[in-house]
Amino acid sequence: MSSRRFIVDDDESLSDEPGTAARREHDPEDESDLDGDLTSDDDNAVSRRLKRNAANRRHGPVKTRSSTTAAAAAAAKAKTAAGRGKAWEGQFERTWDQVQEDEHGTLEGAVSDLLLSYKSRRVLRDSASIQRGIIRHVYLVIDLSSAMLVRDYKATWLDLTLQYAQEFVTEFFDQNPIGQMAIMVTRDGLAERLTPLSGNPADHLKVLQNKKKLEPRGQPSLQNVLQLAKTGLSHLPPHGSREVIIILGSLTTCDPTNIHDTISQVEQERIRVNIIGLSADVKICRDICDHTRGVYRVARDDLAFRDLLFEFVSPPPTIAATASSRSHLLGGASTSSSSAAAADLMQMGFPALLTTTYPGVCACHGKLKTSGYGCPRCKARLCDVPTECRVCGLTVVNAPQLARSYRHLFPVTNYDRVTE
């Protein structure tokens, strides 16, 4: 009997909870069990007492952990209310719950609202009447480095770039019929011009559709791109805009010398460089665009990439002419230092369509053709317009093409949405 009582006392000594001791002192049932002799019925009482002591030892720490967890949750909630805390302290957002069904139980209403907002954003274009260069000379540069093989979108960057580039060429010449464009690529640390400056979109589309000659490899070179673009644009008359649009997928550039010297030369020639990044923001790309007054954007997805590219369809505002450019316009004469862009008159000719029974040699390609346009100044035969006569240098355009380009100077105001 005494051994059983010793076991109970020893178990009580193991419990160090003050609440347990207090309950044990004021429990009359326990006192009667300890003072009296233990019988066969007392075994059940001892078992119940052991279980009660074990339960008391378990409940104490659990209450302490619960209070600590509640305090930590309250502190995290207060921190989130004061300001956004860590990512794991924030509340999990169920974004799919934000999509609401229409009265028919479908998602067509939510999708139509998204499409309507997207179309409205495209319609709201810049309608300010500012000075723009309607005669544009654009170099479209495509990165053909090994980084363009990344399959970040549904297709590789190269496939998506070639697809959007073809659409951009078609839309560019539709909105800028008297503009000219050249296609350039960069790979293996070099820059290569695939097509010269031309107003014929068929030549550019033919090159962009030939994927055998557009195999990506190596690294790009922004310095060689800027140097080649400066060589091709610096000799052009200043009344036209000089632009470079670069589609870059690589995060690096392999340059032979200091690229900042080339950036200064491009800036002096008033060449605007615009860059669309496909991967991430690159410091040297932002420096190039800031110095040349261009635009640098990084595409989030394939739709944003297309929108950023098509922003360059409309002609940009004219860069203010410097004193040196005015001196060049007036044949070296000194002029006042004004911040306004220099305006210049230029001659244009409206050709007549010629159709003869005998073939004639065209002045642009040197091929025998029975139809073409006749230059109003030198009577040379031209294949297509708009173009610049290779014989006399006259800009030859059609009247509808000139009117279509002229509308960029006085754009139509945005429409007001009318709801019934």
Domain residue limits, the chain: 2-64, 131-310, 351-396
Distance between CA 279 and CA 270 in Å, rounded? 28
pLDDT digits (tens, 9 = 90+) for 120-176: 665 555 555 566 667 889 999 999 999 999 887 778 899 999 999 999 999 999 888
Report how far Cα 395 is from the mean position of its chain's Cα atoms: 37
Q: Which residue has the higher pLDDT, 209 or 399?
A: 209
Q: According to the model, what pLDDT value does residue 302 have? A: 87
Contact by Cβ (8 Å): 121, 193 = no
What is the residue-wise DSSP string for 48-103?
HHHHHHHHHHHHHHHHHHHHHHHHHHHHHHHHHHHS---GGGSPPP-GGGG----T
What is the residue-wise DSSP string for 158-225?
HHHHHHHHHHHHHHHHHH-TT-EEEEEEEETTEEEEEEEEES-HHHHHHHHH-GGG----S---HHHH
| Distinct helix (H) and strand (E) counts, the chain | 13, 12
Distances in Å between the Cα of 199 and the Cα atoms of 176, 351, 365, 383, 401 are 9, 16, 14, 11, 12
Q: Which residue has the higher pLDDT, 257 or 113?
A: 257
Distance between CA 56 and CA 23 in Å, rounded? 10
Nearest 5 degrees, angle CA 296-CA 299-CA 305?
105
Task: Give the pLDDT mean for 301-329.
Answer: 72
pLDDT digits (tens, 9 = 90+) for 245-284: 999 999 999 999 999 999 999 999 999 999 999 988 999 9
Distance between CA 403 and CA 81 in Å, rounded? 59
Q: At what angle do helices 302-310 and 157-175 cross, to 10 degrees?
A: 30
Query: For 358, how many CA atoms within 13 A lie in the half-sphere containing its CB?
Result: 0
What is the residue-wise DSSP string for 349-406?
E--EEEEEEEEEE-TTT--EEEEEEE-TTT--EESSSSEE-TTT--EE--HHHHHHHH
Contact by Cβ (8 Å): 145, 284 = no
Distance between CA 148 and CA 142 in Å, rounded? 10
Distance between CA 186 and CA 343 in Å, rounded? 35
* CATH H superfamily, domain 131-310: von Willebrand factor, type A domain (3.40.50.410)
pLDDT above 90: residue 214: yes
The amino acid sitting at 78 is A
Surface-to-core class of residue 86, CB atoms within 10 Å of its CB (0-12 exposed, 13-18 middle, 19+ buried): exposed
Enclosing H/E stretch for 111: helix 108-123
pLDDT above 60: residue 96: no
For tokens 């001196």, name the residue.
Answer: 327
Surface-to-core class of residue 123, CB atoms within 10 Å of its CB (0-12 exposed, 13-18 middle, 19+ buried): exposed
Q: According to the model, what pLDDT value does residue 327 have? A: 43
